[in-house]
Amino acid sequence: MILDGKIAIITGASRGIGRAIALTLAKRGATVVINYASNAEAAEETVGQVRDNGGRALVFRANVANPTEAGALINTTLDEYGSVDILVNNAGITRDNFIVRMNDDDWDQVIGVNLKGAFNCTKAAARAMIRGRWGRIINISSVVALAGNTGQANYCAAKAGLIGLTKAMAKELGPRNITVNAVAPGFITTEMTSGLPEELKEKMLAQIPLKRFGKAGEVAELVAFLTSGAAGYISGQTIAVDGGMTCI
């Protein structure tokens, strides 16, 4: 699982799962490009943590839903390092509401960042990977793509779309030695989940056979494996990190 010499872009890497992935890949030897959309301070904190551990990192602001900005993220990485070997499409937002109350903007923003953002970055990065005849693309989906969730029609649709994108790209890019996989986290302890009411947390835990929330680092370890040479024959798959929740 050594990634020495590999260049990895992680979108939405300023905090949470994205930050954990960036730190884990950097510890394995990859140079990481930390993408963020709005929280510059958190992104710089991630870069600082990477460098404090002896890793190499670059920070770049881009709204990946915008094709021009997504392209600039990839091109800047190529200009700086000469290649893009690993792309982790992690950037995501939520705009929860019941379908009858959900407005067009809430739908469009969630689809734009979570799904179109992955399309934009993959389209730009794949060209570089094809030239190098090697690549690893990981799409961060969600267990709600597999099971659905009340009040998250936009988010579920976007995350399910990522699974379809993963399968199509695995077939298209496989002949060029590029693997594409999806990771579907369940309930993971992050800043977002830490503020949930205790009653809601208890209901969530009741759905999880392991009876605990996952850790961002546990998701990151799977991503690290899938980006490594050890996972060279795994492509087109969706792997849940959910404590067994979707097996019942």
Q: Which residue has the tokens 């947390």?
A: 201
Contact between 9 and 86 (Cβ < 8 Å): yes
Binned at pLDDT 50, 70 and 90, residue 201 comes out as confident
Asked if pLDDT for residue 24 goes beyond 90, the answer is yes
For the segment 162-182, the average pLDDT, to the nearest whole number, is 98
Query: If 0-12 CB within 10 Å is exposed, 13-18 middle and 19+ buried, where does residue 144 land?
Result: buried
Asked if pLDDT for residue 29 goes beyond 90, the answer is yes
Supply the pLDDT for residue 202. Answer: 87
Supply the pLDDT for residue 248. Answer: 57
Binned at pLDDT 50, 70 and 90, residue 195 comes out as low
Asked if pLDDT for residue 190 goes beyond 60, the answer is yes
Binned at pLDDT 50, 70 and 90, residue 247 comes out as confident
Supply the pLDDT for residue 198. Answer: 84
Query: How much is the mean pLDDT over the chain?
Result: 95
What is the percent of the chain with per-residue pLDDT over 70, rounded to a whole number?
Answer: 98
Supply the pLDDT for residue 200. Answer: 79
User: In terms of pLDDT, which residue wins out, 201 or 124?
Assistant: 124
Asked if pLDDT for residue 179 goes beyond 90, the answer is yes
- With helix as H, strand as E and coil as C, how does the chain read? CCCCCCEEEECCCCCHHHHHHHHHHHHCCCEEEEEECCCHHHHHHHHHHHHHCCCEEEEEECCCCCHHHHHHHHHHHHHHHCCCCEEEECCCCCCCECCCCCCHHHHHHHHHHHHHHHHHHHHHHHHHHHHHCCEEEEEECCCHHHHCCCCEHHHHHHHHHHHHHHHHHHHHHHHHCEEEEEEEECCEECHHHHCCCHHHHHHHHHCCCCCCCEEHHHHHHHHHHHHCHHHCCCCCCEEEECCCHHHC
Binned at pLDDT 50, 70 and 90, residue 192 comes out as low
Q: Which domains does the chain have, with CATH numbers?
A: 7-247 (3.40.50.720)
For the segment 191-215, the average pLDDT, to the nearest whole number, is 84
Asked if pLDDT for residue 50 goes beyond 60, the answer is yes
For the segment 218-238, the average pLDDT, to the nearest whole number, is 97
Contacts of 87 (CB under 8 A, 6+ apart): 8, 9, 121, 122, 125, 129, 135, 136, 137, 138
CB neighbourhood size of 7 (10 A): 22
Residues involved in catalysis: 155
